[in-house]
A and B are shown apart, each in its own frame.
Chain A
Amino acid sequence: MKRLLILIISGYSIGASAQIITPEDSLNAGLVSSNNPTVISGYGEVKVEYNTQSQLANANLTRNILFFGHKFNKRIAFFSEMELEDAKVEGGSPSGEVSMEQLFMKFGINNDIYLTAGLFIPRIGIINENHLPTTFNGNDRPYLEKYLIPSTWREIGVGLYGRSRRIAGLNYSAALVNGLNSEKFGNGNGIRSGRYKGSDANATNLALTGALLYYVRGFRLQASAYYGGSAGIAKPIADSLQLNAGAFGTPVFMTEANIQYQSESGFEFKAIGVFSSIKDAESINRAYANNTPGKMWGAYAEVGYNLMKAFKKDSERSLVLFSRFEAMDLNAEVSNNSAYDGSLNKQFLVSGLTYSPTRGVIVKLDVALKKTGTPNPILTDVSDSQFSFINIGVGYSF
């Protein structure tokens, strides 16, 4: 613990000293103009939420991330993000988490293609890859991309990223990473708790993921898919649990498509649809009794308008009025040996304002309404079916 604290404090100290020696707003200017090979940056967010049902408020430093990067030569670079969630980590008590959100080497093949190797975030969904608080509306990340796509979803592996020379704006990526741990799947969390997040991952099972990303006429279009094993255990143990071991045994499949648009006049729109299936859910439930769903689906759509555009078209400040509707069913199909929980059929309506006084700084105010189906009292607190939150928070990224 002592070493951990020293590490964190030294991390902040380095960040602070870098702020002194780096000219204001010139992290990159330093890199470009003076060829500084080392990048220090970060992001974070703080939130106060008020639960209108319980009439209780909660204040929390949601996360703070320190980014360190270093360029060894023009083709090889290092990237890392260290995250502290919930402000502190205290031994023996429930509190926050310190984790590496990313740590990878990047190898440029040519100007169009590069490889990543290490702990990285594959291109799946909107938030997973672009999760800075300044890039999304609302204090909380879209719920769909927490419960269904377990953002930030990072695993250890090798990734290939590139862009097409034949079609302007078309990017592609493919990655081979370690798989999931189906023992940790759970009711209401889908596959979220089955991520290894780079910590002592069982690499006996693997996953393949790929994405196409296309920028055209102001639109950002993306489609991606994931297919990976979730039982990376020894074959004798897998046999005894009646699970399929092997690289892609007991597979999890997920696919999504999303679209984003931002007009010059201030209008913005985004939408995503996700489908996931775990065909051996019955086997997983027999082995681990964790109520793993057979299928999950979800979608959301969000519209927003930058009110500042009405007054000053080229202002760096922005004030976005937005509304987002999310719907998902985290047990759209259940196996014969698991129970259906209506509370996992969720809808959210989130509306609010996102104010940015300057790029990289955000102040957020939103109201989040949640409604679910009838909870299964064996699995879920029945009072958890409907509530609303009023959230206010600030965030930064640089």
Chain B
Amino acid sequence: MKRRDFITNTSKLGACALLGITVLSHTGCASYPLFKAKVIDKTLSIPLTEFIKSKRLLVRTSSIEFDIFAHEFEAGKYRATLLQCTHHNEPVTVSDQKIYCPSHGSTFALDGQVTKAPAKVGLKHFPTRLSDDGNSVLILLEG
């Protein structure tokens, strides 16, 4: 391949990548809603109405330096996953299909299981349950 061709092709690739990002960002890959919660009695409470808006959401609290990925993985069943890589404790990124650590390349399934090293241990989960009145999902931080 000639240098000129290579430069031309690389430029096209870059343009396609940017175009792709733009297109994909408008076709269902928008970010998950961010829900800010306060810790009360070592518990986070997420109204069920939030899960009606989106089955997947990010929960943020000032008490924890990593977000929690809360999602309804089956009807009426909820999982709360700490977005902290189990390799070197870096923040991980939730995509549409997987959870990624940009720092060292570990990948995790949306259920937190390791799909690619260097991480060896799955992401930490917090136990969840419905509140007594059935209107909220409770994330138990001491679990």
Known A-B contacts A108-B65, A359-B120; the reply to A168 vs B86 at CB < 8 A is no
Closest B residue by C-beta to A25: B120
Contact B1–A327 (Cβ < 8 Å): yes
Q: How far is the CB of B109 from chain A (nearest CB, A)?
A: 9
Q: Which of the four size classes fits the interface of chain A? A: 35 or more
Interface residue ranges of B74-126 to A (CB < 8 Å) = 82, 84, 86-89, 91, 93-98, 100, 102-105, 107, 114-121, 124
Closest B residue by C-beta to A295: B3
Contact A167–B88 (Cβ < 8 Å): no
Q: B37 at the A/B interface (Cβ < 8 Å)?
A: no
Interface string of A206-226 (1 = CB under 8 A from B): 000000111111101101000
Known A-B contacts A29-B121, A74-B65; the reply to A69 vs B96 at CB < 8 A is no
Contact A297–B3 (Cβ < 8 Å): yes
Contact A215–B100 (Cβ < 8 Å): yes
Q: A145 at the A/B interface (Cβ < 8 Å)?
A: no
Q: B32 at the A/B interface (Cβ < 8 Å)?
A: yes
How far is it, in angstroms, between the C-alpha of A273 and the C-alpha of B13 when the chains are bound?
A: 9
Interface string of A164-177 (1 = CB under 8 A from B): 11111111000000
Closest A residue by C-beta to B6: A297
Q: B21 at the A/B interface (Cβ < 8 Å)?
A: yes
Contact B29–A111 (Cβ < 8 Å): no
Q: B35 at the A/B interface (Cβ < 8 Å)?
A: no
Q: B17 at the A/B interface (Cβ < 8 Å)?
A: yes
Contact B29–A171 (Cβ < 8 Å): no
Q: A335 at the A/B interface (Cβ < 8 Å)?
A: no
Chain B residues with Cβ below 8 Å from A333 are: 3
Partner of B94, one of A168, A217, A259, A329: A168
Contact A135–B10 (Cβ < 8 Å): no
Contact B105–A130 (Cβ < 8 Å): yes
Chain B residues with Cβ below 8 Å from A135 are: 104-105, 116-118
Chain A residues with Cβ below 8 Å from B124 are: 32
How far is it, in angstroms, between the C-alpha of A332 and the C-alpha of B3 when the chains are bound?
A: 7
5 nearest A-B pairs in the assembled complex, by CB-CB distance: A169-B95, A130-B105, A215-B95, A28-B86, A74-B65
Binding site for B on A (CB under 8 A): 25-26, 28-29, 31-32, 39, 41, 43, 67, 69, 71, 74-75, 77, 79, 108, 111-112, 114, 123, 129-130, 132, 134-135, 161, 163-171, 212-218, 220-221, 223, 255, 257, 259, 262, 273, 275, 295, 297, 299, 327, 329, 332-333, 356, 359-360, 397-398
A–B pairs, 15, beta carbons within 8 Å: A28-B86, A28-B89, A39-B88, A39-B89, A111-B67, A132-B104, A132-B105, A134-B118, A164-B31, A168-B96, A170-B21, A215-B93, A216-B24, A217-B24, A359-B117
Binding site for A on B (CB under 8 A): 1, 3, 6-7, 9-10, 13-14, 17-18, 20-21, 24-25, 29-32, 34, 60, 64-67, 82, 84, 86-89, 91, 93-98, 100, 102-105, 107, 114-121, 124
